[in-house]
Amino acid sequence: MAPLVSTPLTLKHAVTALDNAEVLRIRNDFPILGLQVNGHPLVYLDSGATSQNPVSVLEAEQEFYEQRNAAVHRGAHSLAVEATEVFEAARESVARFVGARSNEIVWTSNATEALNLITYAFSNAGAGRGRAAAERFRLGPGDEIVATEMEHHANLIPWQELAFRTGATFRYIPVDDDGALRLEEAAKVIGPRTKILAFTHASNVLGTINPVETLVGMAREHGAFVVLDACQSVPHLPVDVKALDVDFAAFSGHKMLGPTGIGALYGKAELLNSLPPFLTGGSMITTVTMEQAEYLPAPQRFEAGTQKISQAVALAAAVNYLSETGMDRIHAWEAHLGQRLVAGLEAIEGIRVVGPKTGLERIGLAAFDVDGVHSHDVGQFLDDKGIAVRVGHHCAQPLHRRLGLVSTTRASTYLYNTTDDVDVFLEAVAGVRKFFGAAK
């Protein structure tokens, strides 16, 4: 029996989930979902990679360019003032969406940049930049950075590199054969030398929701900073960064109905204001001389140069869409779809689903191996029927290696997927091995 590391399903079922009728109405807001692909209605099951955009998001971006486009935080003309207002209102909306204050949300190009920003800010602190309050971010030989074996490369490589730059040691919490974090090992890996604990809230491959509270508890015991990769949680579950008590969190706009080119870094205000900046230049300073510069407080101190203004405005429209639908309801619906996916896949001969088995909590995605058929061939076969899935290692090579695989096929759902989408997908998967001669 695999250890149950997340909230039991029963708790989630207290919430009224969406249903197919409501999802069909929701789909009307997403023009792309009406496409025909290869002669079939599009069945989009790749929202874990990138989600689709409702009309309100597309219109928000267009409206900004048609009516308010100007540089923000500079210039005193009316458009510039208005652009600054909507830009900051967008920050307020996104901050509220994750339970943060607006000065705790830094815009980045994507989650990858957010995570890199933290690592380079830590490096800069180690190089002596920042005031005395930045001393605590200094890393060196003897210090340890801890991540997990299930990380996306974006929450893995930046930490490896930070360790290389500072002389700190990089360590990781292993996963078991079912892909759950080995908490007994976590208790050994996380210790007095741990300076940073970085882990994903929800795995983009396994669908596991990690026990944030337990892990944060272990980190706090040793005074380590906690960095949460929230890319697969913020779009799909109600997330309150204050309740989770993490120090930093990163998420990405295009996975939550927003546009590409924008992501966000959450950081506790006191920490962000002590960290030295990463990118430097215009719009992040107070006083500049020919010798040096003084920096604005967060978030501006991390937002050098012209910002992602229309994207921020569109992302705010996306979180409004999600909030109006209800994150708890979206979560419950996707949990339902996730169970249907896993149960259906497990019933097909020659399929191995990675991550939690049927009945154990997972987000609305499932990655799987098809015996005798490579994931690229699986994906090609499904694409021919208009079904869009992700194939490959999903930017998690070490995790795949741990599971004895090179690649998997992943179906990931969102609020606009019906049970029919899942069933059409399952029926198609059932024909894969026969087509490729891997089954009679």
The span from the CA of 421 to the CA of 300, in Å, is 43
367 contacts 393 by C-beta, under 8 angstroms: no
User: Catalytic one among 246, 271, 395, 399?
Assistant: 395
How far is the first Cα of the chain from the last one, in angstroms, to the nearest whole number? 32
Q: Provide the minimum distance between the beta carbon of 280 and another protein in the complex, in angstroms, as a whole number.
A: 32
Instruction: Tell me whether residue 38 or residue 67 sits nearer to another protein (CB atom).
Output: 38
Nearest distance in Å: CB 377, another protein: 5
In whole angstroms, give the CA distance from residue 166 to residue 179. Answer: 30
Helices (H), 48-207: 55-67, 78-97, 111-126, 157-166, 183-189
Closest to another protein by CB, 170 or 436: 436
Q: What share of the chain is helix, strand, coil (3-state, %, to 5)?
A: 40, 15, 40
Nearer to another protein, 166 or 412 (CB): 412
Contact 194, 219 (CB under 8 A): yes
State which residue, 39 or 192, has the beta carbon closest to another protein.
39
Tokens standing for 168? 């700190």
Q: State the nearest-atom distance from the C-beta of 294 to another protein, in Å.
A: 43
Output b/e per residue, 385-423; b: 16+ Cβ within 10 A: bbbbbbbbbbbbebbbebbebebbbbbbbbbbbbeebbe
SS3 358: coil
Nearer to another protein, 336 or 393 (CB): 393
Q: What is the nearest approach in angstroms of another protein to the Cβ of residue 116?
A: 19
Largest CA distance in the chain: 76
Closer CB to another protein, 326 or 431, in the complex: 431
- Please, what sign has the CA dihedral across residues 178, 348, 367, 255? negative
Query: If you count them, how many residues does the chain have?
Result: 440
Place of tokens 């080119």: 261
**Does the annotation mark 231 as catalytic?**
no
The residue whose two tokens read 């267009």 is 62
Find the shortest distance in angstroms from Cβ 375 to another protein: 7
Residue 380 makes CB contacts below 8 A (sequence gap 6+) with none
Please tell me whether residue 154 adopts helix, strand or coil conformation: helix
Cα 311 to Cα 400: distance, rounded to the nearest angstrom: 33
Q: Which residues pair with 111 in a beta bridge?
A: none
Which residue type, as a one-letter code, is found at position 271? Answer: L
Distance CA 410, CA 90 (A): 32
- Nearest approach in angstroms of CB 29 to another protein is 29
Distance CA 264, CA 115 (A): 10
CB of 393: closest distance to another protein in angstroms?
5
Residues that bind another protein (CB under 8 A): 38-39, 373-377, 380-381, 384, 391-393, 397, 400, 406-407, 435-437
Omega within 30 of 0 (cis) for the link into 299: yes
Q: How far is the CB of 379 from another protein (least distance, A)?
A: 9
**Short-list 139, 254, 238, 253, CA closest to 198:** 139
Mind telling me the catalytic residues? 395
